[in-house]
Each structure stands twice: as C-alpha cells, then as structure tokens.
Structure 1
Amino acid sequence: MIKNRKVRAMQKLLIINNEKDRDDIGWIPQIKKAVSAVENVEFAVIHHSEASKDTLDDINPDLIYLTGRATYDWTIDEILKDYTSIINMLQYTEIPTLGVCAGHELMAIAYGGSFGKMIETEKGKEDVREKGFHKIDVTKETPLFKGLGSHFHCYQDHRDEVKNVPDTFELLASNDMCKIQSIKHREKEFYGVQFHPEQYTEDYPDGKIILQNFLTLK
C-alpha cells in the first residue's frame, strides 16, 4: 500500500496500455480525449509489461485506468505468460483502478476469476461479438454508476467475458448477452467494466458520467 502520498492540485491518471505490442497505442488517444473532456488531469502512460511496485512508486498516480485491447484477441495462456506484472500489481496496489474490457478481465483473473468466449462457435466460424451501444442493467447501486438510474447504455466491442465473479468482488451490472458487465472489489476501489465508457457520444452520454464518477473517487 502506498501511504503519505503528496496532495496535488491536479489528479494524475496512470493509463496502463494492455495492447500486446509496446508500439501499439490502441485505445489511448480516445481515452485521453474522453477523460480530458470531463476533467483536467495529468496523464502518465506505460505498457503493461512495465507495471511494478517501483513504477507505481515513481509515478505516484491518484487513479489507474487499465485499457482494453483493440488489436488482438487473446487466450488465458498468453495472459498467464505475458501479463503477470499486471496481475501482481492488482493484487498488491490500493490505488483506485478502473479496468476496461481486457482490463476488466485481467482484474477478475487476478483474484481467481476466469474468462472465455461469450458464445462458443464452430471451428472455422467467426466469433460472436457484442459490438455497438447496448443497454446494461444495474444490479447494485455504486458510486461508479451514480446518476444513471436502473440502466444505462455504453459502447461494447468484445467476444470474451468474465465467467465468474471472484469471491472478493460483487456484481454491479449485467445484460442478456454478457451477464458480468461490471464488478467491484468488496474492500478496494477496484471497478471492472466489460464495456468502453471512453466511447461516449452526444446520443449515448452515459460513459461520460461513468468517467466523471471514477475521476471523483479520490
């Protein structure tokens, strides 16, 4: 746990890029644009392979944003081989964290959850994806969804899902296609969301509200 952190006039948001390749910036430009439209923050960006206690101590962020993966689908074998730094970080840090899509799946895996395809397809057939803006039902009131009521609409782009809620987490939101749309750690300010709140629009502004709620956790 990081203690006695300096108080800053501007919050520092650490974005951890979960793309496979270091030079693949994935969702980061959209995340920065979406967050900056909500609140003026200081950004720091690292690749997932750089995550460590020393890195967190050096950057000293107020909040952490774990990105999705825009470029490649992945497997549990790749995660357990190449994403151990993120899994370890999630187990020891106390910094409020939002895990989005792949980041949500990593958060669940770090605490004993599992993931896989939403819908298994026959060999050679294209995977079924949940894509576009979809309705999501709130199953438990939470600060992250403050002001949204019993349901909201956010952008989806995934074929995988978290298959079970870890014992130390609780379910926050669900829909018909993906039962585990959002989870929260019972003791830490850790939130996982399968959808992409950074992809909000004028017609679908709920993601902006979610980002605002996350940025005001501190």
Structure 2
Amino acid sequence: MKSSLRPMVRIVLPLCIALVALFWMCRESAAEDRSKNENRRPWLMVGLSTDGCSRGCKHVFSVIKQLSGNPNGVILHFSKVTLETVMEMQPEFIVLSPQGTPWCRYSGELGVSLQNFLWSLPVFAEDMNIPMLGICGGHQALALAFGGKVGPVRSVDDDCMPYSRDRQGGVVPLTVTSQDPIFEGVAGSIRMLESHFDEVKVLPPGFVLLASEKVSRNQIIRHPSKPVYGIQGHPEHFYSNRPDGGILLKNFLRIASAHNKAVKRFPEPQQLISSSTGEHGQSVR
C-alpha cells in the first residue's frame, strides 16, 4: 500500500508546492498593484451643477474610478476649484461633469464663481499641462472657457431658452471627421447616448472637430495641442452591445497617462500669475 502511494506523492507534492507558490506570487502582485494605486496622485472630478455633484456627476465619477484603477478621485464643486487648489492637488487629470441648468441661469455670486472657474481652465490645460475631459455640460464648459459659443439646440440664436423644448435625446450615430488616438479600437461610426438642450455653436479658436452629427454638429472636440477633449454625449453609459463610450473613456485615460509620463508639469506658482487673466473665455450671462 505504502509503495503504491509513493509515485502519487511524488507527482502531487510538487504540484501542491507549485500551486502554493503561485498563490503567494499572485497575492503579492495584487498587494503591490493596490499599493501603487493607493500611492497615485489624485484625479479631480468637477461638479458643474448649481447645487454640487448631481446623480449624473456621481455616475461619471464611479465609471472613471473603475476604468482608471485610481481610487484617489476627488469631487469638488466648481466654486471650490482654484489655481491654488489644483496646484496643491496636482491631479493626474480633470473631468468636467454633466449638468442640467442653462448656463445663463448661473447668476449673481454663482455666476461670478463660474466665470472665475472658466478662466482657470486654460491655465490648467496650457500652463499646468493637465489632461482634461468634458462630458455633456462639461464639453460646453470647455468651449466657453476657450472662447467658443454655446446655445440651445436647433436655435440660431445664442439666447437663454427654458429647458422645455429643442432637446436632443436617444442613441445617435456620430461621424468621425478627423482621426485621433481617442478613437483607437472604435469600428465605423460611433453610437452615443445624447441628452442635452444646449450645444457648442462655435468651436473655440484652434480646436479640432473630431466627430459630428446632423442635429448637433460639434459632438467631439479637442484642444489643438493638449490632451483636452470635449464629448457632447454620455460615454459613461456604455454596454456590451454599445461599447463605444467605454472605449473613448479608456482611450482618454491612456492618452492622459502617456502625456503625464512625457511632459513636465506644474510650474512654480509665480509663473501662473500672468496666465490667470481670463483672456480665452466667453462671459457667462
């Protein structure tokens, strides 16, 4: 009996040892990955709604946190985002959230805070070299910050209409108008969930139109030289049968990571003083 077990022991024992070693290697690797992620610089989610981070903002935050693998995300209302705050945080990237209020309704103290925030965006992008992604209202905020124009969908006027008509909604096909790394892995036209009343009417000077659509033309845009993107639709809503939005988000995160490794960032505070004059932005009425 003992002699018959010996061959089996010779086979099973090394296998068990190998499995235990593999288990510990995987465990150590996972712990190392967690440690690396926990030690990464934070990334910043800016809530653009009048009252903070809306449900849509929180959903975007959750999706980006999962896709980036960086648990150190921070949500701040736009009124709390200043040059000093961002210099201290040194975020890996900034995401501008969707919002559901006409821009012309940001009045009084809130309007002043919004204007100050918009003036700071070119400094974040061009002087601090921070990658940025604007989604829906965040896309429109980028356009305003860099000198574009925003107004109601289907209206020729840049007026302040109530949000009761002229909405673009549903899943629509976007046509790629200019090739860009953000489209890597996307096959054919892009299917994007849309839900917005305002749109970018005029691109900021130098910005590149990457994707378009017949109802609302300026769908995906990019800064001429920085990894700063605006997406009018909602790429955070993607599924196995409609993966395009998720592909775009992953590509942005990959582009941001490569940019951060290649480019020197965060100049000394005194170098930013002359950059915060707001020369780009369109005023918010």
TM tier relative to shorter chain: 0.7 to 0.9
TM-score, normalization by structure 1: 0.86
The residue correspondences of 1:143-158 to structure 2 (distance < 5 A) are 143-158=181-196
Q: Give me the whole-angstrom Cα distance separating, in 2, the residues matched to 1:73 and 1:108.
A: 15
What secondary structure, in the 3-state scheme, does the structure 2 residue paired with 1:75 have?
Answer: helix
The residue correspondences of 1:35-184 to structure 2 (distance < 5 A) are 35-41=64-70, 42-70=72-100, 72-75=101-104, 78=107, 81-93=112-124, 94-120=129-155, 126-184=164-222
Q: Which has the higher helix share?
A: 2
Structure 2 residue identity aligned to 1:158: H
The runs of 5 or more residues in structure 1 that have no matched partner are 1-6
Equivalent position of 1:17 in the other structure: 47
Instruction: Report the alpha carbon displacement of residue 76 of structure 1 after superposing the two structures with TM.
Output: 7.3
What secondary structure, in the 3-state scheme, does the structure 2 residue paired with 1:28 have?
Answer: helix
The runs of 5 or more residues in structure 2 that have no matched partner are 1-35, 258-285
Instruction: Report the alpha carbon displacement of residue 77 of structure 1 after superposing the two structures with TM.
Output: 6.2
Q: Give me the whole-angstrom Cα distance separating, in 2, the residues matched to 1:56 and 1:17.
A: 15
Would the alpha carbon gap of residues 125 and 33 (structure 1) be closer, same or farther in structure 2, given more than 3 Å must change? closer
Are the counterparts in 2 of residues 14 and 45 from structure 1 also a CA contact under 8 Å? Answer: yes
TM-score, normalization by structure 2: 0.67
Would the alpha carbon gap of residues 141 and 11 (structure 1) be closer, same or farther in structure 2, given more than 3 Å must change? farther
Q: Give me the whole-angstrom Cα distance separating, in 2, the residues matched to 1:208 and 1:173.
A: 16
Equivalent position of 1:4 in the other structure: none
Q: Give me the whole-angstrom Cα distance separating, in 2, the residues matched to 1:53 and 1:211.
A: 26
What secondary structure, in the 3-state scheme, does the structure 1 residue paired with 2:248 have?
Answer: helix
> Is 1:189 aligned with 2:218?
no
Identity %: 28
Equivalent position of 2:56 in the other structure: 27
What secondary structure, in the 3-state scheme, does the structure 2 residue paired with 1:132 have?
Answer: strand
Q: Which has the higher strand share?
A: 1
Instruction: Report the alpha carbon displacement of residue 109 of structure 1 after superposing the two structures with TM.
Output: 1.1
Instruction: Report the alpha carbon displacement of residue 36 of structure 1 after superposing the two structures with TM.
Output: 3.7
Q: Give me the whole-angstrom Cα distance separating, in 2, the residues matched to 1:49 and 1:125.
A: 23
What secondary structure, in the 3-state scheme, does the structure 2 residue paired with 1:27 have?
Answer: helix
What secondary structure, in the 3-state scheme, does the structure 1 residue paired with 2:73 have?
Answer: strand
Structure 1 residue identity aligned to 2:44: L
RMSD of aligned alpha carbons: 2.4
Instruction: Write out per-residue CA displacement over residues 144-175 of structure 1, whole angstroms, 9 at most, x where no aligned residue.
Output: 22111342111111011101111121111100
Would the alpha carbon gap of residues 76 and 165 (structure 1) be closer, same or farther in structure 2, given more than 3 Å must change? farther
What secondary structure, in the 3-state scheme, does the structure 2 residue paired with 1:187 have?
Answer: coil
Larger radius of gyration: 2
Instruction: Report the alpha carbon displacement of residue 125 of structure 1 after superposing the two structures with TM.
Output: 9.4
| Bigger mean CA deviation after superposition, 195-204 or 123-132 | 123-132
Are the counterparts in 2 of residues 13 and 44 from structure 1 also a CA contact under 8 Å? Answer: yes
